[in-house]
Amino acid sequence: MRNYILFCTCLAAASAAASPDSVQQRIHSAPFGRAGDQSVQIFTLTNARGIEARVMTYGATLVSLQTPDRQGHLKNIILGFDTLQPYLDGVPYFGATVGRFANRIAHGRFTLDGKSYQLALNNGANSLHGGNRGFDKRVWQAQPIDTPAGAALRLTYMSPAGEEGYPGELKAQVTYRLNDDDSLAIDYEATTLAPTPVNLTNHAYFNLTGDPGQSILGHVLTINADRFAPVDATLIPTGELRPVAGTPFDFQQPRVVGSRIGDEDEQLRIGRGYDHYWVLNKKDSASLTLAAVLTDPGSGRVVEVRTTQPGVQFYSGNFLDGKPVGSGSAFKHRTGLCLETQHFPDSPNQPAFPSTILRPGQLYTQKTLLIFRAS
């Protein structure tokens, strides 16, 4: 049975400064099954215009996201499942919060303050997205909160020292806030008891048609970046930051995703399509700046991505192959694409990349904002 968390007097008082619409903001919670001996909850956040985000405590995962097309019809624009079991059986990070370190770390090895660390290897010779059991496969503690801008859900996970080989106990927090201005804010925070690399992101696969059977190759994408990071055969950045101008990686103007994906290009061949990191054009490192704009010309749905992070991994769903994932349905090749705002991949081994080391006493904060509209 659904447990309705109504905003009673105490919460109404907390949001006294809110617009009249804010009383309609709400969060519902419901049981979503069990992961081992832990129960999993799913929360439904709704905004004043009916946009709906569902988030579960397993992996602090965005399970679905309903936004209107140009006629106002709501449809789910991310890949996901209605039940927990497929996630437990193993899906490629659908909607999950990825950590402790998103993207790859070469050979799962790094040296920090003179000490070497060996992480779990779960992607050939490399460590990917936090290892065998990263933050996407942990049950987070959830706390619904009301804010003047919209209903929010704060999720917290304590990652013990040594988990997946990472040093230091890390407290990670992600807050999803669905705003009445038709945007979803994803705020990350972390603190640590010992120095550790940290790189958190969300791994939603977008398909703005609302039909997961359709390809994303007709979507139109803009990326606010004039450089990208070429990779070696194992998808580790070579260290070069290459200008996108004159290459199929140039999305500075709106481009159809599929228009150059089959071009004869060494980097597209290595990535089996787009699976690369774009370095955002930023005036100052901490500002919330435009990362990308994704449009589905058919439905008119648009998602604009802004972030405080220095870059975005654009992954065109190349490894989705039509085989059932988890125990759920099949997602065909390139029926979802990810825009993972994050720090540079393999930073702990790349001295020229900005540091991702968090030390005791420091607060890690990042923010990504998804803005929804229809054109």
- Pick the binder of ligand BGC from 57, 61, 192, 313 (CB under 6 A): 313
Q: In the chain, count of helices (H) and strands (E)?
A: 3, 29
Which of the stretches 19-27, 178-186, 312-320, 327-335 binds ligand BGC when contact is defined by CB under 6 A? 312-320
Cα separation, 136 vs 155, in Å, equals 12
Q: Rounded to whole angstroms, how far apart are CA atoms 302 and 291?
A: 14
Backbone φ and ψ of 158, nearest 5°: -95, 115
Q: Which is nearer to ligand BGC, 123 or 247 (CB)?
A: 123
Q: Which residue is nearest to ligand BGC (CB)?
A: 92
- Work out how close the CB of 143 gets to ligand BGC at its nearest, in angstroms, rounded to a whole number: 28
Q: How far is the CB of 72 from ligand BGC (least distance, A)?
A: 33
Only segment of 4-12, 67-75, 295-303, 311-319 that touches ligand BGC (CB under 6 A): 311-319
Nearer to ligand BGC, 124 or 162 (CB): 124
104: helix, strand or coil = strand
Span 64-123, contacts to ligand BGC by CB under 6 A:
92-93
Cβ proximity to ligand BGC, 124 vs 243, nearer residue: 124
Rounded to whole angstroms, what are the CA distances from 30 to 57, 89, 158, 233? 11, 21, 23, 44
Question: According to CB under 6 A, which residues from 320 to 339 bind ligand BGC?
Answer: 338
Which residues in 258-297 contact ligand BGC (CB under 6 A)? Answer: 275
Two tokens, residue 352: 């020229």
Other Cβ atoms within 10 Å of 170 Cβ, number = 25
Catalytic annotation, residues: 203, 340
Residue 248: CB atoms within 10 Å: 18
Establish if 182 lies at the interface with ligand BGC (CB under 6 A).
no
Contacts with ligand BGC by CB under 6 A: the residue count is 9
- The torsion angle over the Cα atoms of residues 156, 162, 165 and 167, rounded to 10 degrees, is 80
Buried b (16+ CB within 10 A) or exposed e, 282-297: beeeeeebbbbbbbbe
CA distances from 370 to 67, 85, 291 (A): 11, 28, 10
Stretch that binds ligand BGC, among 18-26, 175-183, 246-254, 313-321 (CB under 6 A): 313-321
* Interacting residue ranges for ligand BGC, rule: CB under 6 A: 92-93, 235, 275, 313, 315, 319, 338, 340
